Amino acid sequence: MNLTKETIADIKAELDKLKPSLSEDKKNRMYKIINPDIDAYVIFGIKTADIEKVIREVQSRFTPSFNQAKEIFKSLVKINNEEYKFAAFFLLNRYKIQFDEKIPVFFRDEYFPFCHTWSSCDSCCIRVIGPYLAKKQKHELAINTIDSWSKDDSIWIKRASMVIHLKIIMLQKDFDEEYVFNKLDNMLEYSNENYIEKGIGWLLKTCSKYKPNIISDYLYENRKKFSRLILRYASEKLPKQRRDAILQK
Say how far apart CA 203 and CA 113 lie, in whole Å.
23
pLDDT by residue for the chain (249 residues), tens digit each? 699 999 999 999 999 999 999 999 999 999 999 999 999 999 999 999 999 999 999 999 999 999 999 999 999 999 999 999 999 999 999 999 999 999 999 999 999 999 999 999 999 999 999 999 999 899 999 999 999 999 999 999 999 999 999 999 999 999 999 999 999 999 999 999 999 999 999 999 999 999 999 999 999 999 999 999 999 999 999 999 999 999 986
Per-domain boundaries in the chain: 1-98, 117-172, 177-249
211: left (phi over 0), alpha (psi -120 to 50) or beta: beta
